[in-house]
Amino acid sequence: MNDSVDDDPRSRRRRARRAASTADILDAAERVFSEDGLREGSLRRIAELSGYSTAAIYKFFDSKQHLVTETLNRRADEYLTEVKKAATSGGTPLERLHLIVDAASAYFSAQKKFSALVRQVQGGAAILGPVLAAFADNVYGRYGQAMELMTDLVREGQQSNEIRTGDPRALAHLASVLTNEFVLADLPLTREEFHAVFDGTLRAPPSDANSVRSETLPAATPARNPPASPADSFVAN
Q: Cα–Cα distances in Å, from 162 out to 81, 92, 97, 154?
A: 25, 8, 12, 9
pLDDT, one tens digit per residue, over 124-158 is 544 444 444 444 556 667 778 888 999 999 999 99
Quote the pTM value: 0.74
Q: What is the spatial distance between Cα 98 and Cα 92, in angstroms, rounded to a whole number?
A: 10
Domains of the chain with CATH codes:
1-61 (1.10.10.60), 63-237 (1.10.357.10)
Angle separating helix axes 64-87 and 9-36, nearest 10 degrees: 100
H-helix segments, the chain: 9-36, 43-50, 54-57, 64-87, 93-110, 112-123, 128-131, 136-159, 168-184, 191-202
CA 157, 158, 160, 161 dihedral sign is positive
CA 133, 139, 144, 145 dihedral sign is positive
Q: What is the spatial distance between Cα 187 and Cα 183, in angstroms, rounded to a whole number?
A: 8
217: DSSP letter: P
Exposed, middle or buried, 33 (CB in 10 Å: 0-12/13-18/19+)? buried
163: DSSP letter: B
Q: Is the distance from CB of 190 to CB of 222 less than 8 angstroms?
A: no
The segments of the chain whose pLDDT lies below 50 read 1, 125-135, 208-214, 223-237
Q: Specify the pLDDT at position 47.
A: 94
